Amino acid sequence: MSETQPFDKISLLRQAFKGLSADELQEMATATQLCTYPPEHILCHEGAYEEVFYVIADGNAAVSKNISEQDGERILRVAGKGDLVGEMALIQNVPRSATVRTITDCTVLEMNKKDFETLLGRSPSMAINIIRTTLDRIRENDLMAIRVMQSTNKVLHHLDRNKMEFIQVAAHELRTPLTVLKGYVNVLNSFPEIKTNAALVEVMDGIIKGADRMHEVVNTMLDVTRIDSETLKIRPVPVPLKRIFNQLASDFTKAATERNIEIIIEQDEDTPGINADPTLIQKALYHLIINAIKYTPDGGKVILRSRSVTLENNTQGVEFSVTDTGIGLDAEHHELVFEKFYQVGDVAIHSSGKTSFKGGGPGLGLAIVRGVARAHGGKAWVESSGHNEVNFPGSTFYLQLPIDPPKTQPPTLTK
Ligand code: ATP
Ligand code: MG
């Protein structure tokens, strides 16, 4: 550090604090010290309590912030002549929120905290001026943060598109040979040599089950890409809700009985009929029911309900809910589980089998449920008091749909 003289402190301070009187500027100049630092000198250390603020007189300094261990430090802005650095932490009495490092030879006016506070206390106009300058800075920082977020969002959106395109291609490529394989397996299965050999029957059964499960996963991948592509057009027709519910319940009877899980249907008498895409509604309910079975231990209950509701926009709709007596879900995951490929806990410790307790899956079921809800102008969400594998608090997943889907695609909803 070296003291640099002579220098017109007054004109620099006038540039930094517009609107101060000549006396106030003079007083401030007397309380400041002019210093010059080489490049790479740290004026402010992020996280430290420090007693000095600076007005840059000549040269540049970078203001940077540690974003995270993974992302490292990011430069927020480059400060130049007339800019203030380090004053916010002094006003707020908090540690520095960023690091300020000179990037050229840099001459600065320094003022320490005590003198700064004395001046502010004596001169309301100076205090107001500094508040104004500080608010401008906050607004500028906000705008900059929004711009960074917008461009990061764009990149994320692009990456997400790439990922979905890859999934779509991969699922299509897998489906064709899988269909061929299933065809040959069915032919093989009809051979008398196999039908009469108990060991081979078991082997064939394993192959068929595995191929069916793979087919189902591939179809789920295609469903999610279709639902995610924002081009999903629904063809609404009157939906036989009772029939769909009963059909699904009976489809799952075998799996539920094997696990000693009771499926109960409670449909309110006044549950209205809706106009919707029956295939999509069936898919959404399928994923809710299979999840309820999968995340409920043997001996539990799954309750399927439907009732009439008044929606947020005061129109009539229908609400489906699937309640289980399973492991439950902590609040921090309530939104995230509806994201594609999101799974709670360690994926590696999942057991296999689509209806076995905590059986694995790609993490797409709930993304499909929410996609279907949105495509119909409805919403999907979960309520659960938390995850507990001792008391099994259970969860309730809701799907709310209007009686008639909107004519145009609805805007993105929060749920
Ligand atoms: P997929 O449905 O693609 O076969 P998945 O069941 O793991 O796989 P989702 O249905 O999207 O994926 O569910 C996401 C995650 O939400 C699950 O991995 C699970 O951790 C949690 N979850 C879903 N339903 C329940 C439930 N009824 N109780 C507790 N946790 C649940
Ligand atoms: Mg699922």
- Ligand 2 mean position to 79 CA, how many Å? 51
d(CA 275, CA 380) in angstroms, rounded, equals: 18
Nearest CA to 132 out of 91, 77, 76 is that of: 91
**Torsion angle of alpha carbons 360, 348, 370, 262, nearest 10°?**
40
246 and 382 fall within a common domain? yes
Pocket test for ligand 1, best of 330, 355, 366 (most atoms within 8 A of CB): 366
- Percent of the chain with pLDDT strictly greater than 90: 55
Query: Using one digit for the tens of pLDDT, what is the confidence trace for 326-381?
Result: 999 999 999 999 998 888 876 665 556 677 888 878 889 999 999 999 999 999 99
d(CA 155, CA 153) in angstroms, rounded, equals: 5
Contact between residue 370 and residue 382 where contact means Cβ atoms under 8 Å apart = no
Which residue range(s) make up the domain with 89? 2-122
216 and 271 fall within a common domain? no
Indicate if the pLDDT at residue 161 is higher than 50. Answer: yes
95 and 163 fall within a common domain? no
Neighbours of 169 (CB within 10 A): 11
**Pick from 122, 138, 164: which residue ends a domain?**
122
d(CA 126, CA 390) in angstroms, rounded, equals: 63
| Per-residue DSSP letter, 384 | -
292 and 389 fall within a common domain? yes
Indicate if the pLDDT at residue 125 is higher than 90. Answer: no
Ranges of H-type helices in 261-395: 278-294, 365-375
- Per-residue pLDDT at 349: 55
Query: Using one digit for the tens of pLDDT, what is the confidence trace for 171-205?
Result: 999 999 999 999 999 999 999 998 899 999 999 99
Stronger pLDDT, 29 or 124, i.e. the higher one:
29
Q: Report whether the peptide linkage leading into residue 278 is cis, meaning its omega lies within 30 degrees of zero.
A: no
3-state secondary structure of 413: coil
242 and 340 fall within a common domain? yes
- Ligand 2 mean position to 195 CA, how many Å? 34
288 and 193 fall within a common domain? no
d(CA 338, CA 220) in angstroms, rounded, equals: 14
Residue 129 covered by a domain:
no
Report which residue type is found at 84. L
**Pick from 205, 228, 251: which residue ends a domain?**
228
212 and 242 fall within a common domain? no
Query: Using one digit for the tens of pLDDT, what is the confidence trace for 62-83?
Result: 999 988 888 788 888 899 998 8
pLDDT class of 272 with cuts at 50, 70, 90: confident
85 and 42 fall within a common domain? yes
For the chain, how many structural domains are there in total? 3
Atom 27, ligand 1: residue with shortest CA distance: 292
Q: Which residues are near ligand 2, the ion (C-beta closer than 5 Å)?
A: 291, 361, 365
348-354 LR contacts (CB < 8 Å, sep 24+): 354/213, 354/216, 354/290, 354/294
Residue 138 covered by a domain:
no
User: Does residue 291 have its Cβ closer than 6 Å to ligand 1?
Assistant: yes
β-pair type (33-37, 106-112): antiparallel
180 and 160 fall within a common domain? yes
159 and 248 fall within a common domain? no
- Per-residue pLDDT at 187: 92
Relative to the alpha carbon of 220, which ligand is closest?
A: 1
User: Does residue 361 have its Cβ closer than 6 Å to ligand 1?
Assistant: yes
Backbone φ and ψ of 222, nearest 5°: -70, -40
Atom 29, ligand 1: residue with shortest CA distance: 328
Tokens coding 74: 């990011």
User: Does residue 220 have its Cβ closer than 6 Å to ligand 1?
Assistant: yes
Residue 19 covered by a domain:
yes
d(CA 139, CA 141) in angstroms, rounded, equals: 5
Indicate if the pLDDT at residue 413 is higher than 50. Answer: no
Indicate if the pLDDT at residue 233 is higher than 80. Answer: no
* Sheet bearing 72-79, strands edge to edge: 42-44, 99-102, 61-68, 72-79
- Per-residue pLDDT at 412: 43
Q: Which helix (H) or strand (E) holds 88?
A: helix 87-92
CATH of the domain at 391: 3.30.565.10
pLDDT class of 231 with cuts at 50, 70, 90: low
CATH of the domain at 186: 1.10.287
DSSP letters of 134-157? HHHHHHHHHHHHHHHHHHHHHHHH
Residue 394 covered by a domain:
yes
pLDDT class of 130 with cuts at 50, 70, 90: confident
| Per-residue DSSP letter, 109 | E
d(CA 81, CA 5) in angstroms, rounded, equals: 17
Residue 411 covered by a domain:
no
23 and 105 fall within a common domain? yes
User: Does residue 405 have its Cβ closer than 6 Å to ligand 1?
Assistant: no
Indicate if the pLDDT at residue 1 is higher than 60. Answer: no
Neighbours of 75 (CB within 10 A): 13
User: Does residue 382 have its Cβ closer than 6 Å to ligand 1?
Assistant: no
pLDDT class of 391 with cuts at 50, 70, 90: very high
Residue 415 covered by a domain:
no
Place of tokens 């898919």: 283
d(CA 229, CA 327) in angstroms, rounded, equals: 32
DSSP letters of 257-288? HHTT-EEEEEE-TTPPPEEE-HHHHHHHHHHH
Q: Residue 37 burial (CB < 10 Å; 0-12/13-18/19+)? A: buried
d(CA 228, CA 366) in angstroms, rounded, equals: 12
User: Does residue 380 have its Cβ closer than 6 Å to ligand 1?
Assistant: no
Residue 133 covered by a domain:
no
Closest ligand 1 atom number to CA of residue 354: 4
Nearest CA to 407 out of 365, 377, 371 is that of: 377
184 and 216 fall within a common domain? yes
Pocket test for ligand 1, best of 219, 220, 337, 340 (most atoms within 8 A of CB): 337
Q: Which helix (H) or strand (E) holds 162?
A: helix 124-189
Query: Using one digit for the tens of pLDDT, what is the confidence trace for 301-318?
Result: 999 999 999 998 888 999
Query: Using one digit for the tens of pLDDT, what is the confidence trace for 36-62?
Result: 999 999 999 999 999 999 999 999 999
- Per-residue pLDDT at 308: 93
**Pick from 199, 228, 257: which residue ends a domain?**
228
Nearest CA to 372 out of 302, 291, 286 is that of: 286
